[in-house]
Amino acid sequence: MTTYITTPIYYVNAMPHLGHAYTSIVTDAYSRYRRLCGDEVRFQTGTDEHGEKIFQAAEQEGVSPKEYADRISAAFRQTWPLLGVRPDHFIRTTDPEHIKTVQDILQQVHDRGDIYFSEYSGLYCRGCERFLTAKELVDGNCPDHQQPPTAIAEQNYFFRMSKYQDWLIDHIRNNPEFITPERYRNEVLAFLKAPLEDLCISRPTSRLTWGIPLPFDDKFVTYVWFDALINYLTGIGYPDGPDFDRYWAAAEHVIAKDILKPHAIYWPTMLRAMGLPPYRRLHVHGYWNVDETKMSKSIGNVVRPGELVEQYGVDTVRYFVLREMSFGLDASFSGRALVARRNSDLANDLGNLFSRSLTMIDKYADGIVPEPDAGTMTDADRELIANVERMVGEYRQAMDGFGFNRALQEIWQVIGRLNRFIVTNAPWELARDPAQKGRLMTMLFLLAEGLRLITLVLQPFMPETAAKMAAALGLETELETASLEKAGRWGQMVPGHRISPGAQLFPRLDKKNNQPPQPQQKQKKKEKEAAAEEGLVDFDQFGKLDLRVAEVVAAEKIKKSAKLLKLTLKAPEERTVVAGIGKHYQPEELIGRQVLIVANLKPVKLMGVTSHGMVLAAKEIDADGNEQLVLSTVAGAIAPGSKVA
């Protein structure tokens, strides 16, 4: 199969923000998913560089429109790799091939009689770069740009859009997948209930020169939308490129609801007038808002994707936007929600499952994916397998229908189940009983196979993480060439290959100050410093203490000291330890007692006696300031020298 999928070509009057990033990430995730399904995929994005608002933005900066467009177009192009977005083609409407194709199409449609010259007056929104109908205004303003449109009356060229209204209504009605989600299909059908007006497709050069000249009248340039939409054709070699027909038959566009009308009404009618079939599907998503308001340059409430990636890492950003927004509905951005998802879904659920599983395979199966012992399979195991297989099916259905957050919910349901599988099977207990070896190996195999499938289905969402997971599971080459058809089935993991534990997928972020993740070395050092400040020791530090049980074989007072006793201890070797317990214990009552000592303290000389360690005791000071001291010991008899852990 072939997939041709596009993002809008973004205006170069503003730097990329999270809204643009979302559309591009969604399109990238879908492209990767289709590749995983074995499709040949063509993913196109680019920049829209003509029109009034670009001209004005350039003027404000005091540079030529082309210079300005070059700069911002480059910023878009450079943003995509940071987000793991990998288009196959980046188109610019200032590309000479595009300009030529637009002129050829205009000439063709003009020759067919679908373009005519006439007088027009209307309300123009520069933000939208289109005429608005009175019905679209809210309190006299454009609802998207919160500014009143300008009344314009002039002579222009018009495209006979009205001629194709009935055809368009039929096409939408007969093809339920043409515009999705359904709410937008309904919105378009509702709009089409009123008679469709013809579309003004030119601007007089007296008012605007920054556009593609009309081939049949050089006193006019092409209206930016008529120019821009055609990018979807020029990018795949219209009219006679070798792959054009194949790609065009598979065309799918991804947009937000702000540009529904040009895509759902202008574009199919333009295609019809050109004698081309309409695109296959239009996927319409909602807005990223900040405090209920659409994120946009004109409002100035934007979140920069590059900064987010720097702070949180690319896959956290991709995961967050794909998980948080239900495709078609609006979503609100908050840094706190992002950190919460990162810590709970990524660090806790996925990260822990992954590192625990690999550590256990390392420890209990010498780092080799073990052969399962079929005889030890339980009904619960079979249910788990059925659940994972069901997830893959649901995932595919969700992805085919742009239900990215649903697909992720399905995956996380399995992650939760595998985490519970570890707890209920308690492999650390199985490992203590040699008779349970077969069961332990079955369990570890099920975990490895579950993780393989999770890696596979996560790949379109989090390519970097999936690559790390695949490498740790020893499946790098498999992942690169995997097709969901085959690799998406349970039981494809080959036992006997080596895994490498130790990869930390998502180090936790500090909730209080949203600290950016540091490279791992620095992170460790930072964590240690923070812990030291709070008086905490980490496990490594604790592990360095040599705590032992010792038996007192001799005890005597040290001259001139009321407090210090010299003890001879067996631990198991004999050693001298000086203890400050003289006010609480008589030497003779200590003989034969078991005490606890720190055996690896540096020797110190106290009142002329060298002490090799320290005796542990508990101390209580009462309200009157009296000190009570009790030696620490163990609750039963044990050989001197036994370790305390």
Residues in touch with ligand ME8 (CB under 6 A): 8-11, 19-20, 22-23, 48, 228-229, 231, 255-256, 258-259, 287-288, 294-296
In 3D, which of 433, 452, 436, 431 has the Cα closest to residue 495?
452
Spatial separation of the C-alpha atoms in residues 633 and 616, rounded to whole Å: 8
Q: Which is nearer to ligand ME8, 23 or 465 (CB)?
A: 23
In 3D, which of 243, 208, 227 has the Cα closest to residue 53?
208
- DSSP-assigned states of every residue in 352-379: HHHHHHHHHHHHHSTTB-PPP-GGG--H
Q: Which residue is nearest to ligand ME8 (CB)?
A: 19
> Which residues are marked as active site?
17, 20, 125, 128, 142, 145, 294, 297
- The nearest distance, CB 501 to ligand ME8, in angstroms, is 40
For residue 189, report the phi and psi dihedrals to the nearest 5 degrees: -60, -40
Q: Which is nearer to ligand ME8, 222 or 442 (CB)?
A: 222
- The nearest distance, CB 259 to ligand ME8, in angstroms, is 5
Token readout for 111 is 């020759």
- The nearest distance, CB 231 to ligand ME8, in angstroms, is 6
CA atoms within 13 A on the CB side of 549: 15
Q: Which is nearer to ligand ME8, 267 or 312 (CB)?
A: 267
- DSSP-assigned states of every residue in 564-616: -EEEEEESSSEEEEEES-TTT--GGGGTT-EEEEETTSPPEEETTEEE-SEE-
β-pairing verdict for 594-598 and 614-615 = antiparallel
Contacts of 404 (CB under 8 A, 6+ apart): 26, 29, 322, 323, 325, 327, 398, 461
Q: Which is nearer to ligand ME8, 22 or 184 (CB)?
A: 22
Spatial separation of the C-alpha atoms in residues 424 and 439, rounded to whole Å: 13
- The nearest distance, CB 122 to ligand ME8, in angstroms, is 19
202 and 209 in contact (C-beta within 8 Å)?
no
Integer-rounded Cα Rg, in Å, for the chain is 35
- The nearest distance, CB 405 to ligand ME8, in angstroms, is 15
Q: Which is nearer to ligand ME8, 16 or 370 (CB)?
A: 16
Residue 416: how many other CB atoms lie within 10 Å: 12
- The nearest distance, CB 487 to ligand ME8, in angstroms, is 32
Token readout for 133 is 């109908």
Contacts of 362 (CB under 8 A, 6+ apart): 499, 501
- The nearest distance, CB 22 to ligand ME8, in angstroms, is 5
Q: Which is nearer to ligand ME8, 179 or 295 (CB)?
A: 295
Q: Which is nearer to ligand ME8, 229 or 414 (CB)?
A: 229
Token readout for 554 is 């001799």
- The nearest distance, CB 346 to ligand ME8, in angstroms, is 23
50 and 210 in contact (C-beta within 8 Å)?
yes
Spatial separation of the C-alpha atoms in residues 612 and 600, rounded to whole Å: 8
132 and 262 in contact (C-beta within 8 Å)?
no
Q: Which is nearer to ligand ME8, 36 or 321 (CB)?
A: 321
551 and 570 in contact (C-beta within 8 Å)?
yes
